[in-house]
Amino acid sequence: MLLLLIGCSSQESVDHKPLEESNQSNNDLYLRGDMTNWDALSQYKARAISRNTFAVEVSLVPRQYHFKFASVDWTPNSNFGALTEQKELSLDSSVEVKAGTCMDELTFTPNEAGRYRIILELTNPVKRVSIHKIHDS
């Protein structure tokens, strides 16, 4: 925990990149959290679904998850966490986020195991994250 606090307070040249991700673009956004050991893993890379909207699909089980969206190198303007004290996401609702956060991670606790789509909307002036269950057809 101390190492995480030191890294957040300095936001300097500490290399947070896992080796397999070292060639990724600093502009790419990743879902980073306890489900990824806070690393930028390729399977959690956000894909653009419109000009300012990005999504990641993940498999989750019933437990609390802590996460945020961030670039490979934790660039402050590409590090999106909770804007307010409301950090807990509910299914099919959204929470405002802001850039430049450090310890302001979001949380979500699914009621059932399954595939979920986590969406980051970077519209102006409001930026939001929402989560939706993917229903098999």
Tens digit of each residue's pLDDT (9 = 90 or more) over 59-85: 999 999 999 999 999 999 999 999 877
Non-local (6+) Cβ contacts of 33 within 8 A are: 65, 66, 67, 68, 105
Does the pTM of the predicted model rise above 0.85?
A: no
What does CATH list as the number for 17-133?
2.60.40.10
Say if residue 3's pLDDT is above 60.
no
% of the chain exceeding 70 in pLDDT = 80
Say if residue 13's pLDDT is above 60.
no
Q: Which two tokens stand for residue 1?
A: 């925990």
Tens digit of each residue's pLDDT (9 = 90 or more) over 82-126: 987 768 999 999 999 999 877 799 999 999 999 999 999 999 889
